[in-house]
Amino acid sequence: MVHKRFFCSKIFPNAADHHFRLRHHQNKWLIKQVTKSNFSEALGEIRTHVSNSDFIAVSLQQTGAYSAPWQRVLPIDTAETAYLKAKRAAERFQVLQFAVCPFSVKASKLIAHPYNFHLFPRDELKIAMPSYSFSCQLSYLTTMAREGFDFNACIYDGISYLSRAQELAAADRIGHSSPISYGVPSSSANSVADSVFTERTKSRVRHWVNACKDSNKKTEDALISTLRKLVSGSELYGSRPCLIINVCSERQVQLVLEMLKEFVDVVPIVVPARGGEVQAIRVVLTSSEEDKNLLEKELQDMEEEHNKRVRGFREVIDLISTSQKPVVAHNSLNDFTFIYSKFLAPLPSTMDEFRSSLLLVFPHILDVDHLMKAIGPFEKVNNLPASISYLRRKFFAPIDMEVSHRAEADNVQIHGRNVLRISELFAKLCSVLKINPETFEDDYSRLSYALQCHANTLNPSLTSSEDPIDEDVRIWNKNSRRISIDNLVLLWGLEIGISAAKLKALLHGSHEVFSKEFDVQMVDKNCAVIVFWTPGFSDRFLKIMDSGEIFCESLKDMISEGSAAASYKTYRSVCKLGLWEADLADALDKALEKSKRLTEAKSEEDLSVIDWNNDKMINLDDL
């Protein structure tokens, strides 16, 4: 396995350079890289670190985020459409690296334990799970390559996983024996048949136990003992004698387990059949209390081993979830849709459902982006290094970092370093916002105001419904103000590659509705969004487009060349219906066609405000 890296380090001086530069000022930042070969060991370590730390930072490296430029989360997206876009990405792409960093902040000192897990959805159990296929966005792979990512290590040696839902669905195919804790029989009223069955098995077990204990005392003829075993159905489980009791219903399983409680030195093991049902119960006889404990411990280890094999990396997710510690992320909507869909269950169809079921698993999610907004809503800092340097420039918040793994001279690993940046940024932000992260853990109800605002609001560049901000108030800088989505109109079928300025010039003064203030932004190569700052003008414009009453040549030309317009509702239904065409124009056309067919015209009165921010629009030159 060692040799595989050889190739990439030999031919990519850039990557090596990069390593070198990082080593220079981050020589103490060592992130432990975990693959299949050292997973068990790392799992043990991280378990301790999670329980000893106050927070857990996570950061994901995916194979992609969107299949077409308009499919990324845009400023024109509401919470709902942003979720639908994130959902689409999570279902389509794959997580190849998952960095986890349990950390604590003690008096301006950050104690971090960063791990970077390499994942690959290998079908380890031959059950066509966890993933049949996945997509790769070329630019993401290129970026990973630039960072010197070792694709061989990932695909050869990445850790696989099963989501909770997948594990349930495959339970019958995975099949293993374990001391499943069956509850007490629900109906205590035993029928006659039940009691006959119970009595019969009880006497059988008793005879067998006695026989076993007898045979220990006196030596027996080999033939006789073999015969005895045949008759009693006795076998050996490891070095211990055991008895198989066949059952034919769940009810009988419960009865047997209940009955076996009377015997102090036996341990029951349930043997599943194909199809997830129980086929038999294996009763193992132990020689003493001590021996019984030993066996139970053995079984527990087996169970854990089995779980590790089946769940793979999900053990780490379960670990984080059961710890109930606050999880700190950056770009949390994206990361948590991925986590949910890969490790929990298929994503629900609405944002609200997603939010509520996610919070059951991770009750405290903190997004550093949101915290950033609390201190500097005017600055557009959207990536981690920029945020950190912004804080460094504007505030005095020295944070000492202590990383548990020490770097060996030549072995500096940069993969997954974002998780350390998140931890650092969080610590700095806490210090700037005067939040004491040490007492944070003690009482969530006494959270400081700033955190309360920002905990559990799944970010992206959008604001969720409960934000108490009025429409049409200029609260942010000149480019960013809130606007009701009623005032947005999508215009498509434009000349390919037209610039927003050109389009605006074309529209300006072409009609009364364009005489007042309006804005134009490109969403796609031939689709634009028009913002009417005067309420009601959007409807008027749509009516004009519909009626064909044209006042101006330029508009007429556009329409005759195939331009069309629709309200924001159409855009929303594009996302809802999952019309993920490469061109937004095609998707909008399809959505219009559909809505014409569907007679149901339920007008939805939900969250209809977005943040209008020119800066965040796609710059088509970047694509």
Partner 1 sequence: MKKYFLVRAMTEAQARNRNQLFPFNRSLCSSSNSSDLALKNVTKSNFEPALAELRIHVREADFVSFDLEMTGVTSAPWRESFEFDRADVQYLKVKDSAEKFVVVQFGVCPFRWDSKNRSFIAHPHNFYVFPRQEIPGDGPSYEFSCQTTSLDFLAKYRFDFNACIYEGISYLSRSQEEEALRRLNSVCNDESSESLSSSKSVADTQLVRMADILFAERMVNKIGEWRAGLLRDTNEGSEFQGSSNDTVQKLQTTFFKMRPALVLNALTSRQLRLIELVIKKHFEDLVYVHATGEISCPQPLVVYTDSTTDRDLLMREIKHCHKKEAVTKIKAAVGFRHVIDLLSTERKLIVGHNCFLDIAHIYDKFVGPLPLTVEEYVSEVQKHFPYIVDTKVMLNSDSSFLHLVKKGSTSLSKAFTLLCPQIASPSVSSIVLADNPHIKVEVQVGDKRFSNWNSGAKHEAGYDAFMTGCVFAQACTRLGIDFNLHAPPVDLVHNEKLQKYINHLYLSWINGDVIDLRTGKCATDSLGSTNLKNRYPKILFSNIVILWDLPSKLKAREIKECMSKVFGSDSVTSVFHLDETAAFVQFSRQEFVSCFLELKDTLEQKYDPISVLHPLSKILEGGRTRAASYELYKEICSSPISEVLFSNQAEAVGIEWRTRLLEPVVEVEKQEDKASTFSQDQDRKETSPINNAAGTLSCCHFPTDELVDSFYPVQAQLSK
Where does this chain touch partner 1 (CB under 8 A) — which range of 9-17, 216-224, 485-493, 545-553? 9-17
Residue 216 CA from chain centroid, whole number: 56
> Which is closer to partner 1, CB of 145 or CB of 299?
145
> What tokens were used for 560?
């005759």
142 lies in the site for partner 1, by CB under 8 A: yes
Q: How many residues appear in the chain?
A: 623
133 lies in the site for partner 1, by CB under 8 A: yes
502 lies in the site for partner 1, by CB under 8 A: no
Closest separation in Å from C-beta 82 to partner 1: 20
Whether 310 contacts 402, CB under 8 Å: no
For 263-288, b where at least 16 C-beta lie within 10 A, e where not — what string?
eeebbbbbbbeeeeebbbbbbbbbbe
**Which residues are within 8 A (CB) of 574 and not within 5 positions of it... i.e. 6 or more apart?**
584, 587, 588, 590, 591
> Which is closer to partner 1, CB of 64 or CB of 363?
64
> Which is closer to partner 1, CB of 148 or CB of 241?
148
Q: Please tell me the distance from the alpha carbon of residue 42 to that of residue 233, in angstroms, as a whole number.
A: 43
378 lies in the site for partner 1, by CB under 8 A: no
For partner 1, how many residues bind (rule: CB under 8 A)?
39
> What tokens were used for 168?
């349930």
Ramachandran sector of residue 324 (left: φ over 0; alpha: ψ -120 to 50; beta: rest) = left
Which of positions 145-184 make contact with partner 1 (CB under 8 A)?
Answer: 145, 150-152, 154-156
Closest separation in Å from C-beta 382 to partner 1: 22
- Calculate the alpha carbon distances from 426 to 15, 185, 331, 368, 423 in Å: 28, 50, 13, 6, 5
> Which is closer to partner 1, CB of 94 or CB of 563?
94
Where does this chain touch partner 1 (CB under 8 A) — which range of 127-135, 175-183, 536-544, 554-562? 127-135
**DSSP character for 404?**
S
**DSSP character for 405?**
S
> Which is closer to partner 1, CB of 73 or CB of 327?
73
Closest separation in Å from C-beta 3 to partner 1: 4
Where are any strands of DSSP class E within 487-544?
A: 488-492, 518-524, 527-532
Where does this chain touch partner 1 (CB under 8 A) — which range of 101-109, 126-134, 178-186, 374-382? 126-134
Closest separation in Å from C-beta 141 to partner 1: 6
Whether 87 contacts 362, CB under 8 Å: no
476 lies in the site for partner 1, by CB under 8 A: no
Closest separation in Å from C-beta 573 to partner 1: 12
Where does this chain touch partner 1 (CB under 8 A) — which range of 46-54, 109-117, 136-144, 316-324? 136-144
Q: Which residues face 611 on adjacent strands?
A: 482
List the one residue from 139, 246, 300, 383 that touches partner 1 (CB under 8 A): 139
> Which is closer to partner 1, CB of 386 or CB of 496?
496
3 lies in the site for partner 1, by CB under 8 A: yes
Number of Cβ within a 10 Å radius of residue 481? 17
> Which is closer to partner 1, CB of 224 or CB of 582?
582
Q: Please tell me the distance from the alpha carbon of residue 474 to that of residue 463, in angstroms, as a whole number.
A: 15
> Which is closer to partner 1, CB of 257 or CB of 506?
506
Closest separation in Å from C-beta 121 to partner 1: 5
> Which is closer to partner 1, CB of 276 or CB of 536?
276
> Which is closer to partner 1, CB of 121 or CB of 416?
121
136 lies in the site for partner 1, by CB under 8 A: yes
38 lies in the site for partner 1, by CB under 8 A: no
350 lies in the site for partner 1, by CB under 8 A: no
594 lies in the site for partner 1, by CB under 8 A: yes
- Calculate the alpha carbon distances from 134 to 59, 131, 236, 342 in Å: 20, 7, 46, 12
Closest separation in Å from C-beta 93 to partner 1: 9
595 lies in the site for partner 1, by CB under 8 A: no
Q: Please tell me the distance from the alpha carbon of residue 416 to that of residue 214, in angstroms, as a whole number.
A: 62
List the one residue from 17, 123, 220, 512 that touches partner 1 (CB under 8 A): 123
- Calculate the alpha carbon distances from 161 to 40, 175, 443 in Å: 14, 16, 34
Q: Please tell me the distance from the alpha carbon of residue 209 to that of residue 611, in angstroms, as a whole number.
A: 74
For residue 98, report the phi and psi dihedrals to the nearest 5 degrees: -130, 110
- Calculate the alpha carbon distances from 203 to 195, 206, 264, 319, 470 in Å: 12, 5, 15, 44, 77
Closest separation in Å from C-beta 574 to partner 1: 13
Closest separation in Å from C-beta 597 to partner 1: 9
Whether 531 contacts 518, CB under 8 Å: yes
3-state secondary structure of 318: helix
**Which residues are within 8 A (CB) of 552 and not within 5 positions of it... i.e. 6 or more apart?**
510, 511
Closest separation in Å from C-beta 84 to partner 1: 14
464 lies in the site for partner 1, by CB under 8 A: no
7 lies in the site for partner 1, by CB under 8 A: yes
Position 451, amino acid = L
Q: Please tell me the distance from the alpha carbon of residue 284 to that of residue 286, in angstroms, as a whole number.
A: 6
Q: Which residues face 460 on adjacent strands?
A: none
309 lies in the site for partner 1, by CB under 8 A: no
3-state secondary structure of 392: helix
Where does this chain touch partner 1 (CB under 8 A) — which range of 116-124, 171-179, 315-323, 350-358? 116-124
Closest separation in Å from C-beta 511 to partner 1: 27
Site string for partner 1, 404-423 (x = CB under 8 A): --------------------
498 lies in the site for partner 1, by CB under 8 A: no
For residue 608, report the phi and psi dihedrals to the nearest 5 degrees: -125, 40
Q: Please tell me the distance from the alpha carbon of residue 122 to that of residue 186, in angstroms, as a whole number.
A: 40
444 lies in the site for partner 1, by CB under 8 A: no
> Which is closer to partner 1, CB of 123 or CB of 304?
123
Which of positions 48-107 make contact with partner 1 (CB under 8 A)?
Answer: 64, 67-68, 94
List the one residue from 26, 38, 40, 137 that touches partner 1 (CB under 8 A): 137
10 lies in the site for partner 1, by CB under 8 A: yes
274 lies in the site for partner 1, by CB under 8 A: no
Q: Please tell me the distance from the alpha carbon of residue 528 to that of residue 238, in angstroms, as a whole number.
A: 71
> How many CA atoms are closer than 13 Å to the CA of 87, on its beta-carbon side?
22
| Residue ranges in contact with partner 1 by CB under 8 A | 3-4, 6-8, 10-12, 64, 67-68, 94, 120-123, 128, 131-139, 141-142, 145, 150-152, 154-156, 577-578, 582, 594
